[in-house]
Structures are given as structure tokens and as C-alpha cells.
Amino acid sequence: MFELETRCINFSNAFVQAKLDEPIYIHTPRGFCSASRPETCLCLNKSLYGISQAPRLWFEHLKTHLLKRNFSQSRHDPCLFYSATVTLVVYVDNVICASKDPTAIQTVLDSLKSEFTLTEEGELATFLGISVDCNWTDKSFTLTQTGLIDRVIAAAGMTNCQGNRTPATQKPLIKDSNGDPMDKTWNYHSVVGMLLYLTNNSCPDIAFAVHQCACFSHAPHKSHATAIKTIVRYLLATRDKGMVMRPTGNLKLDCYCNADFAGLWGSK
């Protein structure tokens, strides 16, 4: 981050830029049907949003052009491409470019512009809703998602609630088949989905509590909704906190055991 120049780009209408690998026919749009030839259909020249193979065709299209430009695809992460001077991280139509040489990045972007329609979005500050805040003192950076946290708080109807110091209580979350039904004024499944996204990107501290709540998404009761609200209160109190990453020269891997027995503890 601190020794690299970064640039974010976005491909405009990405799926439409890919070529089809087989003929696909569609109905004419409503209002364009010919009265004399109502059976007329259209043959697509390019991929289209909504067809099942569109994401694959787009990625293969981008991958082909990157390989032609002397990039290699990582064997460990297919969305990571690298050359002698530039590294690219691809997420559908969003890409992070990094290099010690800003000229090398611009050369790659100029080359891609000859084949793709894309927009340059400046240096890396946010990516997929994740804010990246750099600390030049200790060369660390913090990942935060305050916007998504605000959405979670609003979705659970807890804008005016009090904060909480922990994301869960000491009492295990159980199935609670005979428990009271939850309040249906908010969507349990939607909130769990947003919490899982937070967990995977910037809030690993809520992982255990969220995964416990996710186990009961098929039939949540009041006790499960209360557990969700406990997490939301914790997020409210730690809204501006995030995951701090501090690069070192040590590649040691720290591992932690799954102390809840894969989420089965206390589920029956």
C-alpha cells in the first residue's frame, strides 16, 4: 500500500462487452413486435445481462486480454493477475491496479482502453463499499464499512438504540422451537446477509455471533431476533472501528480452532 501506487477502474456495462460462444435468440422487446411477423425474434451479437453464462463469458473475455498483455493468472486466486510490474485484483467489473511504477499502471490502462470501455476512479480509497484508511505513521491500513453498518441499523429499526460493548451474551443460542415468534417488522434474512458481508470483510469480531444467528434463518424466533439486535447494538458502538492490517516481513500463518464445533454446539 505504502510503497505501491494504486488505481481503481470500473468497466462500463461489462457483460455486454463480451462475445457469445453460442447463438442466443430472444423475443423482441415489448412494443417492437411486428404485426405482420409476430414470430420474429432477435439474435444477440454480444452477451447480455440476465443470461446465465454472462458472468463467465465476461471473465473469460477479460482474462484473455490480460493474458495477451503478458499477465499471469494466480494458481491460488483466479481473480489475481500479475505481470513483471503490475498486479491486478478483479471483482467482476471492478479492478484494483497496484505497482511501484505509476507509469506502468497507466500503460496497462491505456492498452485496455483500446479494447474495453472503462472508467478510472483514482487511487484506492474505497472498494466494493469498503473504505481503506491509511496510517502513514506505522504503515497500517484500516478497512471499515460504516455505510453498510448504517444500513444494518436502519434495516433492524434500531437507529435510536443504545450501543453495546459485546456482540453476544454468554448464553448459547439454541433452536428454541417453542419460543415466541419474532417481530415481523424487519427482515431477519436480509439483516443476516448484510452481517455476513460485514463479517467477511471488515468485522471478523462478530463472526461467531453472526454465524450462530445464521443457523436459524429458516425459522427465526424472538430469541434469535434479540441476538441479532445485540449484534446491531455492538456495531452501533463500534461503527468507526474496523479491521487493522499491518504488513510485516513475517509470513507466519496464525490459525484458530473452531470452538463452536462447526456451529452445532447448542443448536438442538
Q: Can you give the pLDDT at residue 255? A: 66
pLDDT, one tens digit per residue, over 116-167 is 999 999 999 999 999 999 887 888 889 999 999 999 999 999 999 999 999 9
- Determine the pLDDT at residue 154: 96
pLDDT at 259: 53
Cα distances from 222 to residues 165, 166, 227, 268, in angstroms, run 21, 19, 9, 16
Q: Which of 116, 76, 83, 114 has its CA nearest to residue 97? A: 83
**Residue recorded with cell 417488522:** 185
Report the predicted TM-score, pTM, of the whole model to 2 decimal places.
0.79
Q: Which residues contact 132 (CB under 8 A, 6 or more apart)?
A: 1, 124, 125, 126, 141, 142, 143
Residue 72's identity, in one-letter code, is S
Give the residues of the chain that fall short of pLDDT 70.
1-2, 255-268
87 is written with which cell numbers? 498486479
Rounded CA-CA distance 61/54 in Å is: 10
